Amino acid sequence: MIYLDNAATTRVCPEAVKAAIAVMAEGFGNPSSRYAHGVAAAERLQADRAAVAAAVGCLPEELFFTSCGTEGDNWAIRAAVEYGKRKGRHIITTAIEHSAVLEPIRALASQGYEVTYLRPDRWGHISPQELATALRPDTVLVSMMLVNNELGTILPVKEAAAAIRASGCPALLHTDAVQAFLKVPFTPNDLGVDLLTISGHKVRAPKGIGALYIRKGLRLKPMLLGGGQENGMRPGTEPTAQIAALAAACQVWMDHRERYAFGIQRAKKHFLDVFSAALPQGVVVSPGDAPHICAVSLPGYPSEMLVRELSDRGICVSSGSACHRGKPSHVFAATGRPKGELLGVLRVSFSPESTPEEGEALVKALVEICSARVAAR
């Protein structure tokens, strides 16, 4: 199998598997229990939190574990508008956010919040100037992802933070950094964000674990009510095996960060070069600013057909976010590209395990599919 859909999910690395099994088999105590086995679990949890926080670039006490990126996004958005409810009811986001951001914001719009959606250019970039112009005295939340999950473009989050400060508006700044985490260098402080979301299964940890950064000193309401876990902010017994696996995956990535970045970027560039040379009718919809994601199109060849035929050849790519489940992507549509291009879009995304040869195999398969279709006409 050739797997080139790493923006959807990644293969769990051996170190993460080993860490999870060790906690499940031996260190299975409840961190809230006061006997020795529970205390040992709490100490392991503290160490794992510190490891993930170091990878994020924040203090351990600023990091709260969640079940996934979607939970983190929902929590951040709802807590932010609750925090600013006496200051305004205006929200700014982009038209190319993940559904985990767009859907809770749509729900807030139905409750009377006014939403401004910033639209991208044809390459998927958002204008910092348009963001600055959209800010108002009653803006209470700006939510802008750091790396788009379908185009691979980097959005101007740092510039958004500067614009918010310059405007004097009370907005909190949230960024969905699920696709940026460990792929694009950042720290929450450098970005100037108040809230930041990550997800483990995008960085070779298991599904079911993520985290939300909440800037120190920002006192938000918890999304759930219950026990005192996560400093009372995210109650529920901590999933210590998943957390251990996330910490291990982060540590491996940090240990090999330069090599991983070079390998991922090399594999993507080679694919784009070979694609453009072998398929002159193809279109590079987005080369991607981030090292691991790009989008290409074969106008006249429906993407869902291409995905199926590639799958039959043992090659895994997608027609967009895995969360769309076959529906047309709002992200690609927002770029305003011609309909023919949009119908044939494929997202190709790479991991540290990806090789240039896998990209070549994908292009060869696409050439075969196109040739077969031409011959059948």
Report, as an integer, the average pLDDT of 56-71: 97
220-256 per-position pLDDT tens digit:
999 888 888 888 889 999 999 999 999 999 999 999 9
71-92 per-position pLDDT tens digit:
999 999 999 999 999 999 999 9
Q: In sequence order, what are the residues at sequence separation of 6 or more whose Cβ sits closer than 8 angstroms to the Cβ of residue 46?
A: 60
Positions marked catalytic = 323
The fold for domain 14-255 equals Aspartate Aminotransferase; domain 2 (3.40.640)
Beta-sheet strands, E only, within the chain: 2-3, 63-66, 90-94, 114-118, 139-143, 172-176, 195-199, 210-214, 283-286, 293-297, 315-316, 345-349
Architecture of domain 2-10+257-376: Alpha-Beta Complex (3.90)
Report, as an integer, the average pLDDT of 351-367: 97
Question: What is the residue whose two structure tokens read 């170091």?
Answer: 54
Q: Where are the domains of the chain?
A: 2-10+257-376, 14-255
pLDDT band at 325 (very low <50, low <70, confident <90, very high): low
